[in-house]
A and B are shown apart, each in its own frame.
Chain A
Amino acid sequence: MTLSLQLFLASGGILWLTGLYGLWRNSDPIRRIISLNIMGSGVFLVMVTLARRETSTDPVLHALVVTGLVVAVSATAFALRLAVASQQEKR
Chain B
Amino acid sequence: MAASELILDLILCLVLLSLAVAVVEVKRLYDSIILFIAFGLILSITWARLGAPDLALAEAAIGAGITGVLLMAAYANLAPKKHLQNSHRSWLAVGFSLAAMVWLVLSLIPLADSPESLVAVAEQAMADSGVTHPVTAVLLNFRAWDTLLELVVLLLALLGMQQLRLPSLKIAYPWPLLNAWGRYLAPLTIVIGGYLLWRGSSGPGGAFQSGALLAAGLIVLRLNHVIPGLSWQHAWLRCSVLCGAGFFLIIACLTAWLGQGWLDYPASYSASLIFIIEFLATISIAVTLAWLVTGQQEAAS
Contact = CB atoms under 8 A, between A and B. Distances in A.
Do A and B interact?
Answer: yes
Interface residues of A, number: 78
A62 to B, nearest CB: 5
Nearest to A4: B9
A70 B288 CA distance: 11
B127 interface: no
A62 B46 contact: no
A53 B112 contact: yes
B52 A71 contact: no
A88 B166 contact: yes
Contacts of A80: 70-71, 73-74
Overall SS of chain A's interface: helix
Given A30-B29, A70-B62, A9 B111 contact: yes
Contacts of B85: 26-28, 31
Nearest to B296: A81
B174 interface: no
A70 B153 contact: yes
B13 A69 contact: no
Given A21-B93, A51-B52, A77 B43 contact: no
B147 A18 contact: no
A67 B105 contact: no
B75 to A, nearest CB: 6
B63 A73 contact: yes
Interface stretch (B15-23, B221-229, B249-257, B269-277): B15-23
B183 interface: no
4 tightest A-B contacts by CB? A59-B134, A22-B24, A74-B157, A63-B138
22 contacts: A2-B112, A10-B109, A13-B101, A13-B104, A13-B105, A14-B104, A15-B17, A20-B97, A24-B97, A30-B32, A33-B71, A34-B71, A54-B119, A69-B63, A71-B153, A73-B67, A74-B157, A78-B157, A81-B160, A81-B292, A84-B78, A91-B79
